Amino acid sequence: MVFQKPPDGGWGWVIVVVSFFTQFLCYGSPLAVGVLYLEWLDAFGEGKGKTAWVGSLANGIGLLASPVCSICVSSFGARPVAIFSGFMVAGGLMMSSFAPNIYFLYVSYGIVVGLGCGLLYTATVTITCQYFDKRRGLALGLISTGSSVGLFIYAALQRELIELYGLDGCLLIVGALSLNILACGSLMRPLESSSSPPEKDKVDKVPDQYFVYHEKEKTVEENISILEKGYIDEKCVNNAPDCKQENILNKNVLNSININEKDTYKKKVVEQTNFCKQLAKRKWQLYLTYWKETMVLFKNKVFSALFVAILLFDIGGFPPSLLMEDVARSANLSEDDYYMPLISIIGIMTTVGKLILGILADFKWVNTLYLYVTTLLMTGVALFAIPFAKSYLTLAMLSGILGFLTGNWSIFPYVTTKTVGIEKLTHAYGILMFFAGLGNSLGPPIVGWFYDWTQEYDTAFYFSGFCVLLGGFLLLLAALPCWNVCTNQSSKLPSNTYSYKVASNA
């Protein structure tokens, strides 16, 4: 399989549109789960930390399984994976409407829906990067706004559906809407050119197969002799007087077996054994290659700092989108001043942020790594300011700022591509998304547990802000120009070792 040169247009714009609606349909409910979170708190009466696991799993499990998702997309293609994942998301949402307790939601909403979203996210990002090169930042920014628009619309939609049809009816309708992912996935035409597979070197394999054949042939002869002996011994033990007669009869029967049938049996056994041996050897080599490439990636200091930064960012930066509605309710805000759900503000500003940051990433004079670091540092400062917000206006402003900065998700694939190259994007992105999913899964429960222990959110958001700031400073240190002195010695390193400076200039 040989990929064509990215067309930067044409059918690529169709890919952008269907990827936008795919992320809109699959991530709308999980990102707007803060509305459902309040209903689940009242319905099941569990603690905030325990209930927060539902939303955190839905947003984190797909990222945790990103290496598996990447393998699935690489093996089967974006289109089959998208269609299959559409069934997963729709089925998980519909199953959640019948949840008898919070533990059922962990599986139906958290794992099933979350894994489906992870597969869809990997499929849309991968196929978009294949279709675009020069306009990749714009394309990724456009498709990533689908989840943000979904957050904005689904926050109000789910609230309205709950009032009209209840929590169960809301989940059934949202699940039915997710079936439209199937239509979007069917339009994800792969960008590849047909090429004949390389011819196998049959001459080199003949001696090995010949050796294996005769080795297995000898083993078959020994096995037949053992079976004959075991059969005769068993008869002798059970019926000693007739032992001699049975021995004579058995030998006559065994000697009368057709030689051609024996040879056919031997050949089949040898062929199946040889096939299993070659398959196991090939799979083992693939696993070894995967881990060797992973170790090479972590030798890049920027990539190593990037995985720490994304982990800490998701631990601290994701909870506001899930818990901001409960923060407003805990602040005893007046309903007259509550003009728009805070989660909707986060959603619409995330859309704006993804678009603007995606466009900025396409400018040659903008260093996307430093741009990403800036968003991390500003997010940490905004999280520190949440405990001081005591009115709807200040909470709405902070929600807008956090939403805009969360738009850095649109440039994260861009940063990853510039760090490791397009050839290693699927592999590296899967690893980074695993740590992002770990942060998504741990962040909201940790904040919820802080509230259960202290009965206030102040300490929790101080902790969140510290995590994001720490990740931003570590990534900034790894990207400083002073490290380029060490990079000049890269000629002594293996040829497949990457540095951000070289990759970004490629």
Q: State the Cα–Cα distance between residues 79 and 84, nearest whole angstrom.
A: 9
DSSP string of 235-250, one letter each residue: HHHH-STTHHHHHHHH
According to DSSP, residue 408 is labeled G
CATH superfamily of 1-194: MFS general substrate transporter like domains (1.20.1250.20)
Q: Which amino acid is at 117?
A: C
DSSP string of 252-273, one letter each residue: HHHHTS-HHHHHHHHHHHHHHH
Q: State the Cα–Cα distance between residues 69 and 439, nearest whole angstrom.
A: 18
Residue 495, pLDDT score: 42
Q: State the Cα–Cα distance between residues 20 and 139, nearest whole angstrom.
A: 10
- Side-chain-facing half-sphere of 368: CA atoms under 13 Å: 31
Torsions phi, psi of 204, nearest 5?
-70, -25
Residue 275, pLDDT score: 63
How many residues does the structure list for the chain? 506
Q: State the Cα–Cα distance between residues 35 and 37, nearest whole angstrom.
A: 5
421: left (phi over 0), alpha (psi -120 to 50) or beta: left
Q: Where are the domains of the chain?
A: 1-194, 300-483
- Residue 34 contacts residue 322 (beta carbons within 8 Å): yes
- Same-fold call for 1-194 versus 300-483: yes
Contacts of 57 by beta carbon, 8 Å cutoff, 6+ apart: 106, 109, 110, 111, 114, 441
- Residue 78 contacts residue 124 (beta carbons within 8 Å): yes
Q: Which residues pair with 193 in a beta bridge?
A: 2
- Residue 474 contacts residue 308 (beta carbons within 8 Å): yes
- Torsion sign, CA atoms 97, 100, 103, 107: negative
Residue 257: burial class (beta carbons within 10 Å; 0-12, 13-18, 19+): exposed
Q: Which amino acid is at 124?
A: T
pLDDT tens digits, the chain, 506 residues: what are they? 445 676 777 888 899 999 999 999 998 888 888 888 888 988 888 888 788 888 888 888 877 777 788 788 888 888 999 999 999 999 999 999 999 999 999 999 999 999 999 899 889 988 888 888 777 777 877 887 788 788 888 988 998 899 899 999 999 999 999 999 999 999 998 876 544 444 444 444 444 444 444 444 444 445 445 444 544 455 554 555 555 555 555 555 555 555 555 566 666 666 666 666 666 666 666 667 767 777 777 787 888 888 888 888 988 887 777 778 777 777 776 665 667 778 888 888 888 888 888 788 878 888 888 899 999 999 999 999 988 888 888 888 998 999 899 888 778 877 887 777 777 776 777 778 778 878 878 888 888 788 788 878 788 888 889 999 999 999 888 887 765 554 454 444 444 433 443 333 32
Instruction: Cite the DSSP H helix spans in 97-201.
Output: 102-105, 114-131, 136-177, 181-186
Closest C-alpha to 330, from 454, 159, 456, 458:
456
Closest C-alpha to 326, from 437, 210, 419, 452:
452
Closest C-alpha to 90, from 17, 181, 156:
181
Q: State the Cα–Cα distance between residues 453 and 76, nearest whole angstrom.
A: 47
CATH topology of domain 300-483: Growth Hormone; Chain: A; (1.20.1250)
Q: Which helix (H) or strand (E) holds 45?
A: none
Residue 146: burial class (beta carbons within 10 Å; 0-12, 13-18, 19+): buried
88: which 2 tokens?
């997963």
Q: Which helix (H) or strand (E) holds 253?
A: helix 243-255
Closest C-alpha to 107, from 123, 120, 91, 118:
91
Closest C-alpha to 7, from 124, 127, 122:
127
According to DSSP, residue 97 is labeled T
- Residue 18 contacts residue 138 (beta carbons within 8 Å): no
Residue 85, pLDDT score: 93
195: which 2 tokens?
């090429």
Q: State the Cα–Cα distance between residues 385 and 396, nearest whole angstrom.
A: 12
Residue 287, pLDDT score: 64
- Torsion sign, CA atoms 301, 303, 306, 308: negative
Contacts of 1 by beta carbon, 8 Å cutoff, 6+ apart: 192, 195
Residue 208, pLDDT score: 44
- Residue 271 contacts residue 277 (beta carbons within 8 Å): no
- Torsion sign, CA atoms 387, 389, 391, 392: negative
Residue 442, pLDDT score: 83
